[in-house]
Copies of this chain bind each other. A is one copy, B any other.
Amino acid sequence: MIASTAAELDSRRIEQKERIGLSHFVEEVGLMFEAVGLPRMAGRIFGWLLIANPPHQSMGDLVEVLQASKGSISTMTRLLIQISLIERVSLPGQRRDYFQIKPHAWSQLTQQRMTQITAFRQLAERGLNLLSDQPPQLRQRLQEMHDMHAFLEKEMPLLDQRWQQEQQRLTERLSTGQPHLTSSSELLPIPVSKSPRTETPEPKL
């Protein structure tokens, strides 16, 4: 099996090139995740799940493709599931579990942002209390901080709502009839286990 046809070699070169393109993509998603405060490896996993074929991948797949340790993959998939960016799915008759991008994953990130905005608004309120006996001139800085985030708190959900409508419009353009990946296969999403860990993060310090 030493000799290969020209076609085979060519096909391999193309595959090679694509592999490089794909891993670059994965790496960049990793960097973007870091930019929004999430671990790079979580971004790599998410990036790979964005382009993987099939869209559901096992832990073993991820370990191999991303050249990372089992431990890291296990921890990071758990994180991604916890923030609802991916979900765990199982195939009938298969022992191992698979991971795939969760529908509306991106709205979930917006949700996280909302939490931050609320925190900023509350912080502004605390500041205004501290300066309660000061003249309005001095309080103006905090008032602006407060009003801005109160505004966003009101508007962001509306924006997200409008996005959901827009998206429905967009997806109905072409793929009428096959509404979603999950339902197009025999994949079953596994509900997130409400383990005690979720509510009480540190059982033993």
Contact = CB atoms under 8 A, between A and B. Distances in A.
Indicate how many identical chains form the complex.
2
Contact of A36 (B25, B116, B142, B174): B116
A51 B28 CA distance: 39
Contact of A167 (B147, B155, B178): B147
Nearest to A138: B53
A151 to B, nearest CB: 5
A148 B136 CA distance: 40
B140 A28 contact: no
B35 A142 contact: no
Given A147-B167, A167-B144, A178-B137, A120 B32 contact: yes
Chain A interface mostly: helix
Given A32-B120, A32-B123, 8 more contacts: A28-B123, A32-B116, A36-B37, A50-B127, A51-B131, A51-B141, A106-B149, A148-B163
A170 to B, nearest CB: 5
Contact of A37 (B21, B35, B53, B170): B35
